[in-house]
Amino acid sequence: MQRRKFLKSASAGLAAGSLAVPALSRAQAAAAPEVKWRLASSFPKSLDTIFAAAETISKRVASATGGKFQIQVFAGGEIVPGLQVLDAVQAGTVQCGHTAPYYYFGKDPTFAFSTAVPFGMNARQQNAWMYHGGGLELMREFMKDYNVINFPAGNTGAQMGGWFRKEIKSVADLKGLKMRIGGFAGVVMSKLGLVPQQIAAGDIYPALEKGTIDAAEWVGPYDDEKLGFNKVAKYYYYPGWWEGGPELDLFVNTKAWAELPKEYQSILEAACYEANMNMLAKYDAVNPAALKRLVAAGVQLRPFSKDILNACYKAATEVYAETSAKNPKFKKVYDAWKAFQNDEILWFRVAENNFDNFMATADRPAAAAAAPKK
C-alpha cells in the first residue's frame, strides 16, 4: 500500500510539471536496494553550468533515496571521449550519459530533434513539444533502436552565432571558411561553401588558436568566456540560428532502466526535469554579465545580416526536404515537429514576441546606456 501511494504521488508530481523530486520514506529507504551507476558526460568540468546538470541529477537521486541510488559522474574523456557517450551507453559500458543528441547526427540526422535543428524552436517551445506535444514519445520510439531511453535534462536557451577571425559581411564571406560547427548546421552551411568541423568543447580553443579553424561556435557568453575564445577571435556573431533552444539529454541504457525499481525510475525522471529547468535558468542569469565583460574587453559584437540569414534559411529548408525524401524515420519526426512549430510561432507572435519586442525598446535611455558599444 505504501509503495503504491508513493508511486501515485510521484507520478502526479511529474504530470503537474512540478520541480519537486519524489523521495522515499525512511521505511522505504531502509528496504530499498543499493544501486550504483556510472554517468559519462560529454562535457568538461570547467563548463560548470552545462556539466552541472549531470551533478544535479546525481545529487538529487542520492538525496531522494537516502543514498541508496548513487550515480557517479565522469567528465568528457574520463571514461570515453565526449562525442562517444551514446556508444558507451548503448553498449552498457556505462548505465547512463549526459550529452547533446545532435552530436550523433552522423548515425542518423533524426537525433538532432532531441537537441536543436536550424531555425527550430526556442527553449520554451522545445519543452512544450517534448513534454506535451508528442516529441518525447517520437524520440523514444526512434532511440529504441540504439538501446537507450532519453530524458530532457538541460537547455542552454538561444545560442550565439560564434567567433570569427574576420568580419562576415555577406554570404560570399562564408565560402571556404573552416568552422567548428556540426550536425544539421554544418550540412546547411556547407551548401553555402563553409567547411564544417566537428570538434569537442575542450579541443576548440587550440584549433582556433593554431588556425586549424577560422571560426567556432559553442554556447553563449558565459561558457565562451570561460573557454577563452575572445583571446583568439575578435568578432562575435549572433544569433545562433541553428540552436534556438538546444536540449541536452540523459541517455539511459534500456536494460539498466528496466532493472531500476519503479520508485527509482520516478526519482530519476524528476531529477532530469529539475536539471532541464535549472540549466536554462542559470544560463539566463549568467549570460548578461558575461556579455558585458566580453564587450568591455574589446569583443566586436555583430549580427548576421538579413541576407545571410535568408540564405541559410533557404539552405535549411532544402536540407530538410532532401533528408525527408531519403530517411523515413527523419520524415516522421520532422512532419510532426514542423506542424507543432508552426502553431507555436503563431501563438508567440501574438503575445510573447510583441511583449519582448516592446520591452527591448521601452526604456530607451536606460537600454542605450546598458547596450554594448560598437
Residue 57 has pLDDT above 90, yes or no: yes
Report the alpha-carbon distance of residue 86 to residue 94 in Å, rounded: 10
pLDDT of residue 303: 97
pLDDT of residue 199: 86
In the structure grid, which three cell numbers stand for residue 374, read together? 560598437
- 3-state SS record for the chain: CHHHHHHHHHHHHHHCCCCCCCCCCHHHHHHCCCEEEEEEECCCCCCHHHHHHHHHHHHHHHHHCCCCEEEEEECCCCCCCHHHHHHHHHHCCCCEEEECHHHHCCCCHHHHHHCCCCCCCCHHHHHHHHHHCCHHHHHHHHHHHHCEEEEEEEECCCCCCEEECCCCCCHHHHCCCEEECCHHHHHHHHCCCCEEECCCHHHHHHHHHHCCCCEECCCCHHHHHHHCHHHCCCEEEECCCCCCCCEEEEEEEHHHHHHCCHHHHHHHHHHHHHHHHHHHHHHHHHHHHHHHHHHHCCCEEEECCHHHHHHHHHHHHHHHHHHHHHCHHHHHHHHHHHHHHHHHHHHHHHCHHHHHHHHHHHCHHHHHHHCCCC
The pLDDT of residue 273: 98
pLDDT of residue 198: 84
Res 10 pLDDT > 60? no
Whether the upstream peptide bond of residue 239 has omega within 30° of 0, thus cis, is yes
Judging by DSSP bridges, how do beta strands 162-164 and 235-238 pair with one another?
antiparallel
Share of the chain above pLDDT 90, in %: 85
For the segment 358-374, what is each residue's pLDDT rounded down to a tens digit?
998 887 665 555 555 55
Domains present along the chain, CATH in parentheses: 2-155+245-284 (3.40.190.170)
C-alpha distance from residue 339 to each of 32, 123, 309 (Å): 44, 17, 22
- CA gap 34, 276 in Å, rounded: 26
Query: What is the mean predicted confidence (pLDDT) over 41-64?
Result: 96
Query: In the structure grid, which three cell numbers stand for residue 181, read together?
Result: 560547427
**Percentage with pLDDT > 70 across the chain:** 89
> 121 or 21: whose pLDDT is higher?
121
**How sure is the predictor about 18, in pLDDT bands with cuts at 50, 70 and 90?**
very low
Specify the residue for cell string 525499481: 261
pLDDT in tens, 291-348: 999 999 999 999 999 999 999 999 999 999 999 999 999 999 999 999 999 999 999 9
pLDDT (0 to 100) of residue 372: 55
Tell me the average pLDDT of the chain. 91
Q: What is the pTM (predicted TM-score) of this model?
A: 0.89
Beta-carbon contacts of residue 320 (< 8 Å; ≥ 6 apart): 117, 334
Q: How many residues does the chain have?
A: 374
